[in-house]
Each structure stands twice: as C-alpha cells, then as structure tokens.
Amino acid sequence: MSVAEQREATLQQPPTLLPPLDVLRHVVDVHCHPTDSDVTTEAMDTLAITICAMSSRPADQSLVRGLANAYPEKVVPCFGYHPWFSHWISVSPNVTKEEHYRPLFSPSGEHQKMFERLLPHLPDPIPLADVLAELRRNLSSFSQAMLGEVGLDRAARVPIDYAATPRELTHFIVPLEHQLAILEPQIDLAVEFYRNISIHSVKSQQATMALLDRMRQKHGSKWHRISIDLHSCGLSVETWKAIEKRHLNVYMSLSTVINGRSPNHRALIEACSPSRILVESDYHPVERCAERTWEMVLTVAEIKGWAIETTWTEDLRAEDWGAVRRLERNWQEFQKGNHEVNPLRPVARQTP
C-alpha cells in the first residue's frame, strides 16, 4: 500500500480504541516503515509502543539510523535491502547500467521498448560489496539492530518510476537467482553478528523453505542463535506448519494492512503455535503504528481465546496471562534467540 493509500485508508476509518498506556508500552510492532513517511517529533514523543523500523533501499538506511539514534528506547533499527530494490544492486563491481540491467531482465521482442523506457529511470547499479560494507557498519553500530527488510518476492513487477503515483508497472520481475544472490550474503552478515531477521516472502513458499533449510545447514549451530520473523506472513497453513516444526527459530508476524485483506490470516493464527506469533503494523505513518498493531493484538486474542489486559499487574501466574503479556514474552524469546535444535528430517513431499 502506498503512503497516500495508507493516509486515505486511515482517514476513512474510525480510530481503534487503545488500551491504557501501562498496557500499551508492552506492545512491540515488529515491522513498520516509519521513514517512508514524515516522522514528526510530536509523533515520536507520543509513541507509546516499541517499533522495529525497517529500511529497504539505499536512501532509507541513514534515515533509520537517525531515528534509532534519536529514540533509542523506542526504536529497534533494521537495516537491509528489500527484494523490490534488489535489481539496483549488482553482484559484480564496475558494470554500466546497460551491462547490469540488460542481462538481468533479458528483454526480448515486445519487451525491448519497455526496457528502453525503463532504463533511464533506473539508478546506476550499486556494487553488492558496497551494500554489504554499509550493512556491516550499521549492524556494528547498534547492538540491537536487526536485518530487515529482506526477502524474496516472485510477484513484484518492476515499476518504471518507483516514486511516481500511480506507479506504472513493467512486465519485468527480478529473477529469483538474483534476489537470492543479494539476500544470502545479507543473511550471512546477520548470522555473523548474531542478529535477527525480518523476512518478506511473497509467492515464494518453496524458495523460502529451501532458503531456510540451506541457511540452517550452512551456518550450523550459529543459525539457531538467531531468530527469523516471516513478516506479514502469507504462507499457506500447511507450509507454515512445516516451517514451524522444522525451524524452531522461525516466528510469524501478521498485520491488518496486508494480512487483514485475506481470510487466510485467521487460519494462520489458529494454526500457529501460541509461542511463535508476533504482531506488526507494516505501516508507514508512525502516528498510526500503535493503532494498527493493537488491531492485530485484538485479532490474535480473539482467535486464540486470550484475555486482553485492561490494566498491568506484574505478578501473574502464566495461566492468567493475557494477549499482551503472551506476545511480549514471544518478542523477548525472539530477541534472546539461542533456540533449541531439532533433528533435520527430509522434507515430506508436498502436493502442489
């Protein structure tokens, strides 16, 4: 959803009633994009929850850095390159635009013209080595920083001009092999620094499964020290269950913005282990992050049959915990990492 669409949608909806501040301050929005919109001091000063602020492309890494420096207790900075911008990055250094983009999209026949129109709008390719060097700097500067938003997307078509509204889309999709070539070294860095990851996965269920298996095998015990969040999770219930069982360090988070549109999210919440679920807004205007995240807290509470805290009491028996306390505990376990290792069995054959 674009910023304009989000603003529009926000105006049309009556505000969701938020709980008292002593409850709200235990809520964590595990995935949002505040720097995609104007972040005002007022909005940040009144922000009552913790947010995980994602970056996605070259321009916003420093914005997230700035936000985290200004509000260290409220912002978990997340650095990384989103699959929608992965074509801007070239694996080999010193290549021209033409040398980088033409083989990437291999335009033929009728798509030639489209490619000629697109090329002037595309930035000079950024060498992967530069991207990784900056990511390394950012992860070393913030001990709490995560890798995000990164991932795989086999549905996103490259727009002629990302900044234009409405966006005119081409037929080009960034090939999965290129997405992986940009993603995997970022994940390697996250593992090296023992950092958690926020992953975007759209129309890439099998590729995501294979990636998790490969990373687990490649990184061995180090892999289990970190946690992975499949954000705005759109997997089928079957795929999620398989991942949940196979990878004890993988969590799912849901948003009303993305998941609320599909009835599948209720089935996913139902299927998800109560200890592996997180909530997010996936929103841009930070003024609305608490509200959007709270809506998902309410949905999860309803489906899981959890009570909702109306006041905060410190000493409660686990069986009396409400949704906020349970989700907070999940977040703490996510952050702590060091997950149990289960034996890796061959994947059961799945029907398509």
> Which spans of this chain sit near Zn ion (rule: CB under 5 A)?
149, 282
Q: Are 344 and 216 in contact (CB under 8 A)?
A: yes
**Closest CB to Zn ion among 149 and 229?**
149
Could you tell me the smallest distance in angstroms from the CB atom of residue 8 to Zn ion? 19
* 34 DSSP assignment: G
Please state, in angstroms and rounded to a whole number, the distance separating the CA atoms of residues 162 and 24.
Answer: 35
Q: Indicate the residue among 90 and 259 with the shorter CB distance to Zn ion.
A: 259
To Zn ion, the closest distance from the beta carbon of 118 in angstroms equals 24
Which residues have C-beta within 8 Å of that of residue 340, sequence separation ≥ 6? Answer: 224, 248
CB of 1 to Zn ion, least distance (A): 10
State the burial class of residue 44 (Cβ atoms within 10 Å of its Cβ: 0-12, 13-18, 19+).
middle
Cα-Cα-Cα-Cα torsion 284, 285, 290, 293, nearest 10 degrees, comes to -30
Nearer to Zn ion, 87 or 339 (CB): 87
CA dist 135 and 127 (Å) reads: 13
What's the min distance (Å) between Cβ of 282 and Zn ion? 5
Shortest distance, CB of residue 149 to Zn ion, whole angstroms?
5
Considering beta carbons, is residue 282 or 328 the nearer one to Zn ion?
A: 282
| Cβ proximity to Zn ion, 203 vs 214, nearer residue | 203
The CB-of-5 to Zn ion minimum distance in angstroms stands at: 14
**What is the Cα Rg of the chain in Å?**
20
Compare residues 282 and 291 and give the one whose CB is closer to Zn ion. Answer: 282
With both helix axes pointing from N to C terminus, report the angle between 205-219 and 237-246 in degrees, rounded to the nearest 10. Answer: 0
Is residue 205 a contact partner of residue 229, using CB atoms and an 8 Å limit?
Answer: no
